[in-house]
Homo-oligomer: A and B are copies of this chain.
């Protein structure tokens, strides 16, 4: 027989899959002997069966009955009786926290009988009827599906009536008398009857069963499904249901309720930290009705409960070996623990707490690594808004906030239309594009803006996806904003405050890491963590100012965990860099070489004309002249790069542009030629000289010949190298000559040559022969001994599928997972991120962009095939990755598992990659400890 119901005395924290997070932790606290109100948990399995069959498993009702009787016996109360009635709360509790998504019903067990008993027992009639009123209201909305505002209107009416009776305006709900509430209950019951055609159930067991079903059903609401899709939580887990004896913090001043943390979750500073509200219930704390008290205040009010709470929290932190948060209630001087979990914390707190716990010998350094994530470190590395608290705390107070969709700190004036953003950017102004939501028409404006702020949409909305794709700071779903494009205003409607009206042209600041929106220009400062990692302690203090302790503690924690990660990781970390400055920076941040130096960027700007000449050349001489002119320029490029990375490997990729990137825009040129011709035909004066027109016409003809329908799949990389004789040879010559020059200067240059877009071993073979011949030629002439490894990108499915053969001609492979993702999925990144991905993330085809985190099933499988089979051919083959995935935490774990030797990422992500590589090496657990 399947067990669907677990008493709190039966479960433990390791059964969260079955009992949900809340149920498992309530059981754990019970096991620890902490004062948890008795109760039981209905398993997620019961929920799954209910959802699959549309009905509870038959056994469930029986097991609930047994558990209920057991509970009644334990607390000496009976459900629904007048004397000592048992009241319970029915709370959802899934494996992963889904705040606000699911349902809770309090005070189950109250009816016309038991409300009397509750009043007598508490000697507080008002309290009892208020509790009953709350039950019907919650039950009506949650279980019976009656719109919540129907009840709140009735409540408002009652408050107005009471106020009028007192000759005044409406009163607050606490001013309602027992009689008022008794009448309100009658009104509520009338609502239930009218809306559902039946009476509010007086049978407490019926209340309970319906509440349980309602919690089960709440798993599958649209918003819950959407939330899970966005948060990448599986849809088939189901939720557990916790049935807990009610305790009351609202029984006068000796009662109260609060939340507390074993350490400060914002900074990580040691010492318990919390909020307490006298004579209140849990939801009052969250609703922020009254100002809360501190734990010190609780100490003053009720020293015994305070002491018990601190002891319980210390016990929990020792037991969970991590920061815990708790919810507690004091009922007439008696402390009850209502919930605990490993607490969420800010990135800075995560690092400080992890190292503090090591120092306290609660966890090992390996474990400490598991307590922080690469994403947390990344957010610490972004430039930040300076958040010096001003005296009144107002300066740093956010105007409103939304979802943090794409990190960074952006400041600019409000524009409401994309074309205005483009125009303003054209004038050199910094703007924030504020839209209700964006669509593909807004792309130009998004590119032109410093940041994007939307009132609607989540992390997978168009704005969020596109902004992340292009690295723009972005905040989405700031729902307090009302954007009126026609009026040119943005109105902020925060509850409990007067609306603030902003106008186009007003300056705002948005924080893409926190989702906060500020009025005015908040100063942006570089991250102290980044400064410390790159330049050491002195850099942190800035303009000679002393470093504050908190910052000092943070940077030391980060540094310490990074060093430990370095000790443990198996993956080497290299950087993608094309210029000496970036290379030097990457090196300071810990890069162990350059894994990808792209040479196409070196061919832009002024040199573009030369490349145009090479590609469009009519004859060999013309091409050779251009190649000869490029050689010394390229030599200098490589010399600088090799010098900056002296002693470390520098992997130089031969030219890999889609052809069209070097050529003039076809439409633009066609328009220019057509307009000029039309002008001349019209007898008017042309704007071009005859020579210019002829040159344009010639270029246009060549462009039409070379035009590619799909440049991403056209003549690029090794294909261009094999079609344009001398191009690769020139580049290789420049590399070797640069290295020879450095060797002569006593340096230790370590260039490696990487061939892009290879799909067949024969391509690599031909280029390798050419490379080796150039290397031999130059080094023999110079009398310098240089070994230059030759490898290839694996960025086409065919390369991965024939890696065992390609390996025979390669000294190393570097997986180009950007392109591999494009071809494996058939996605042109430039196109689909803009046009398709927000739809695909919304409808669940994608849970995350495969360009952000590697698609393990498709692209990842090709990587695994290539790793395994190439190593069979050539056991010592050096394998790395240089796509953007090389800096993505979840992908890094994948690459570690797949057995790569290194990842290469942008210089800025090097510390992130070091940390994640260390984390991957010290565990096989999932990359993120909380969802």
Contact = CB atoms under 8 A, between A and B. Distances in A.
Interface of A: 440-441, 443, 666-667, 670-671, 674-675, 678-679, 682, 684, 705-706, 708-715, 719, 722-723, 757, 759-760, 762-763, 766, 795-798, 801-802, 805, 819, 822-828, 830-832, 835-836, 839-840, 843-846, 855, 857-859, 861-862
Task: State how many copies of this chain the complex holds.
Answer: 2
Nearest to A822: B713
Given A708-B830, A713-B827, 15 more contacts: A443-B705, A671-B671, A709-B831, A710-B830, A713-B822, A722-B839, A723-B835, A723-B836, A723-B839, A760-B846, A763-B845, A795-B826, A796-B825, A796-B826, A819-B826
A725 to B, nearest CB: 10
Given A670-B671, A682-B682, A845-B722, A440 B801 contact: no
Given A674-B675, A845-B760, A801 B713 contact: no
B714 A828 contact: yes
Given A679-B678, A839-B723, A845-B722, A832 B714 contact: yes
Contact of A802 (B684, B723, B845, B857): B857
Contact of A855 (B709, B762, B798): B798
Given A801-B861, A826-B757, A712 B715 contact: no
Contact of A710 (B443, B711, B836, B861): B711
B709 A712 contact: yes
A473 to B, nearest CB: 24
24 contacts: A670-B671, A674-B675, A675-B675, A710-B711, A711-B828, A711-B831, A712-B713, A713-B827, A713-B828, A715-B836, A722-B843, A759-B826, A760-B845, A762-B845, A763-B845, A766-B843, A766-B845, A797-B823, A797-B858, A797-B862, A798-B855, A801-B861, A819-B826, A823-B824
Contacts of A766: 843, 845
Contacts of A671: 667, 670-671, 674
Contacts of A840: 722
A524 B332 CA distance: 106
A741 B391 CA distance: 80
B798 A858 contact: yes
A853 to B, nearest CB: 15
B440 A705 contact: yes
A692 B802 CA distance: 54
A441 B701 CA distance: 9
Nearest to A760: B845
A802 B858 contact: yes
A148 to B, nearest CB: 31
A862 B801 contact: yes
Contact of A824 (B675, B679, B706, B796): B796
Nearest to A669: B667
A800 to B, nearest CB: 9
B826 A713 contact: yes
B857 A801 contact: yes
A615 B822 CA distance: 24
Nearest to A714: B831
Contact of A832 (B666, B713, B797, B835): B713
A835 B715 contact: yes
A706 B440 CA distance: 8
Contacts of A441: 705
A395 B711 CA distance: 49
A798 B819 contact: no
B824 A798 contact: yes
Contacts of A759: 825-826, 858
A711 B832 CA distance: 10
A808 to B, nearest CB: 14
A911 B441 CA distance: 51
Contacts of A796: 824-826
Contacts of A828: 708-714
A462 to B, nearest CB: 12
Contact of A801 (B708, B710, B715, B824): B824
Q: Please indicate which of the listed interface residues A441, A671, A710 has the most CB atoms of chain B within 10 Å of its own CB.
A: A710
A162 to B, nearest CB: 48
A230 to B, nearest CB: 14
A798 B824 CA distance: 5
A709 B830 contact: yes
Contacts of A667: 666-667, 670-671
Contacts of A858: 759, 797-798, 801-802
| Interface core residue of A715, A757, A760, A798 (most chain B CB under 10 Å) | A798
B845 A824 contact: no
A589 to B, nearest CB: 33
